[in-house]
Structures are given as C-alpha cells and as structure tokens.
Amino acid sequence: MKTQALKNVRVLDLTHYISGPYCTKLLGDFGADITKIENPVVGDPCRKMPPFDEGNTDSNDSLLFQYLNTNKKSVELNLKSDFGHLAVEKLVRDSDILVENFRPGTLASYGLTESKLNTLNPNLIVVSISNFGQTGPYKDFKATDLIFYALGGLMFIFGSTDKSPLKHAFHQAQFKAGTNAASAALMAFYEMISSGNGQKVDISIQESMAASVRDTTTSYAASGIVRTRQTLMNGELPRAPIQVKDGYVVPITFGSTDWNKTADLLEDESLSDPKFQTPEGRRQHAAEFENLVRAAFIRRGKHELFYGAHSYRELV
C-alpha cells in the first residue's frame, strides 16, 4: 500500500455542522490524523441531521454525520472548563493544523487567542471558516445557504427570467467552503514546511460562493457584458431537462455546433427554416423557436434521442 500524502500530519478538529467537518474529512481522506472535539452535552448538531440509518430520526445515526466524520478520532471536551483548557492546549501543541468554524471571536473566548495559539505552537496552521469571514461589517451576521447563494451572486445568474431565482440543491455552499478550506490549509502547511512559520487562514462561505460564478466576472471585465438569468432557451437548446415522449433529456453538446444536425435528429423541417440557422436568428425568433423545439422533443423518445445524438458525435 502506498504511503498516504498526509500521513503523520495531525489535525485538531474543532468544527461542527458541515463546512468544517467536510474540510477535515478531506484531510483525513489523504491520511491525516484527525482528532475531533465535541461538546459532551450537545455534541455536533449534524448528528441529528437527515438522512438517518433506516429512517430512525430519534437516534444519532445521521448518515450525513457519518460521511463527514470518517477517519476521525472522537473526543468529548468542554472547552469552557479548566480541564478542557488544559487538554486543548496540549492538543494544540501536538497538532500541525487546527480547523474551527465557530462564530468569529468564539475561539478567543475559550482562551485560544491568536497570540496564545502562536505561543503554544508557532508552526500551527489555524483555519477559520465562518459565514462572512473574521473581519468586516457582516462578520457577526447569521446566514443560510439561500443567503450565501444570493450574496455570492449565483442566484443572479441561475434560473429563468420568467421564474424565481434558483439556488443549488442541498448544502453546496457548505461543501464548497469546506473544499476551499482544505485546499488553503494544505497550501499554508506546505509553505510552513519551507518557512517554519504558522499561518492564519480565513475562509468566508459567502466569498466561496462568490468565487463560484466562474467566468461571469472575467467576462464582464473583458467585454462589459453582465451575465443574468435568461429564458429557458433564449434561442438555444436548454442545458436543463426538457420533456420528451417517455421522460426527460438534457441536451449537453447537441445543438451547439451544426444546427442542421439538430433539425435532422428532431425530424422537424420547420427548424430548418433559414431564420433559425444562426444563434442571432434563433434569439430574434425565440418564442416561436421554443414552441417548435418543445413540440419536436415531445414526439421523440429518450433512448432514440440519446443514441441518435451519439450518431452525430454529440451528447444528449
């Protein structure tokens, strides 16, 4: 068996819910030695989040909790007690990376100020995950995934203009922040190996979502075009489920190159009209185009569309 990349790297996990535990889970997946601290009274609230093993909602058998906390040692510790202070200070001395996702200022209230941590372990990498970062006017604000999507800009570009804005399913803002935190922790740790200096890593969940708008900001910088929500088709085939005779399909690459191929596959001569030959023409006649496309798809089955698209080296 090959040696894991983070073997012998010790991580002190002072996290709960999703973003922090996912960060440390990723580090553990690469072989890091994770020690997770939980409050002895309430524990990690994720223990009571669905889905549950065999649907038993009265237990602590949250499958989400189990997924997020694999490869970890579990320790119950009251960080407000004298014993808790002594115990966590010893753990800090013995750790390479500390990850926490308390509200800003909470870690310091337990006596673990930045200066204290630096005194205990000058090489320590401290990763803090919070809603809006450790500083700034929003740092103490509470938030939900919906707020992260809205303030991160994603709800401005996702969805159709004739419907309400959309958010991604589940807790993707939390997972995105956890991924960013794990990456940043490794970069800081790698730098520490060279310099011998610990670092403070500040991860904002909102900023993590703002960084997920992909090419939107660069497109604006280069062309001045502001990307917004559009109609479902807007003169092109949707990159979203569209109903067919026996279910739904999602046109991925189909319709993006030679439009005549699309018209041939959908077997609709109306779509071969010269006014639909260019993206500009299809956008100019968007309403008519959408009605024709929907009618053409509903006449075809999902399997014939799938294999038909492959015959054109396209993907549905």
> Which pLDDT score, from 0 to 100, does residue 212 have?
86
What are the extents of the domains in the chain? Answer: 10-210, 242-311
pLDDT at position 269 over 90: no
pLDDT at position 231 over 80: no
Percentage with pLDDT > 90 across the chain:
60
What would the mean pLDDT of 47-62 be, rounded to a whole number? 80
Percentage with pLDDT > 70 across the chain:
93
In angstroms, the CA 116 to CA 198 distance is 13
pLDDT at position 41 over 60: yes
- Report the greatest alpha carbon distance in the chain: 80
> Which pLDDT score, from 0 to 100, does residue 226 have?
79
Q: Compute the mean pLDDT over every residue in the chain, rounded to the nearest whole number.
A: 89
pLDDT band at 16 (very low <50, low <70, confident <90, very high): very high
Query: Percent helix, strand, coil in the chain (nearest 5)?
Result: 45, 15, 40
pLDDT band at 260 (very low <50, low <70, confident <90, very high): confident
- Considering only residues 232 and 237, tell me which one the structure prediction assigns the higher pLDDT: 237
pLDDT single digits (tens) 98-142: 999 999 999 999 999 999 999 999 999 999 999 999 999 999 999
- Considering only residues 87 and 1, tell me which one the structure prediction assigns the higher pLDDT: 87
> Which pLDDT score, from 0 to 100, does residue 148 have?
94
- Considering only residues 199 and 224, tell me which one the structure prediction assigns the higher pLDDT: 199
pLDDT at position 255 over 70: no
> Which pLDDT score, from 0 to 100, does residue 200 have?
98
Looking up tokens 């072989």 gives: 31
The angle at the Cα of 29, spanning 33 to 175, to the nearest 5 degrees, equals: 110
Question: What are the backbone angles phi and psi of residue 200, rounded to the nearest 5°?
Answer: -110, 125
> Which pLDDT score, from 0 to 100, does residue 234 have?
58
262 C-beta neighbours (distance < 10 Å), count: 23
DSSP string, 158-193: SSBTTS-----STTHHHHHHHHHHHHHHHHHHHHHH
pLDDT band at 65 (very low <50, low <70, confident <90, very high): very high
The angle at the Cα of 306, spanning 300 to 312, to the nearest 5 degrees, equals: 105
The listed CATH number (3.30.70.20, 3.40.50.10540, 3.40.30.10, 3.40.50.10330) that belongs to domain 10-210: 3.40.50.10540
In angstroms, the CA 155 to CA 142 distance is 19
pLDDT single digits (tens) 184-221: 999 999 999 999 999 999 999 999 999 988 778 887 88
Q: Picking from 113-122, 142-151, 170-179, 228-237, which range would have the lowest pLDDT averaged per residue?
A: 228-237
pLDDT at position 55 over 60: yes
Q: Do the Cβ atoms of 19 and 181 come closer than 8 Å?
A: yes
pTM for the predicted model, two decimal places: 0.81
Beta strand 242-244 with 247-249 is antiparallel
In angstroms, the CA 213 to CA 215 distance is 6
> Which pLDDT score, from 0 to 100, does residue 59 have?
67
What would the mean pLDDT of 38-60 be, rounded to a whole number? 85
> Which pLDDT score, from 0 to 100, does residue 239 have?
65
What would the mean pLDDT of 65-91 be, rounded to a whole number? 96
The strand pairing partners of 204, in sequence order, are: 130
pLDDT single digits (tens) 275-309: 888 878 887 887 888 888 889 899 999 999 899 88
> Which pLDDT score, from 0 to 100, does residue 313 have?
79
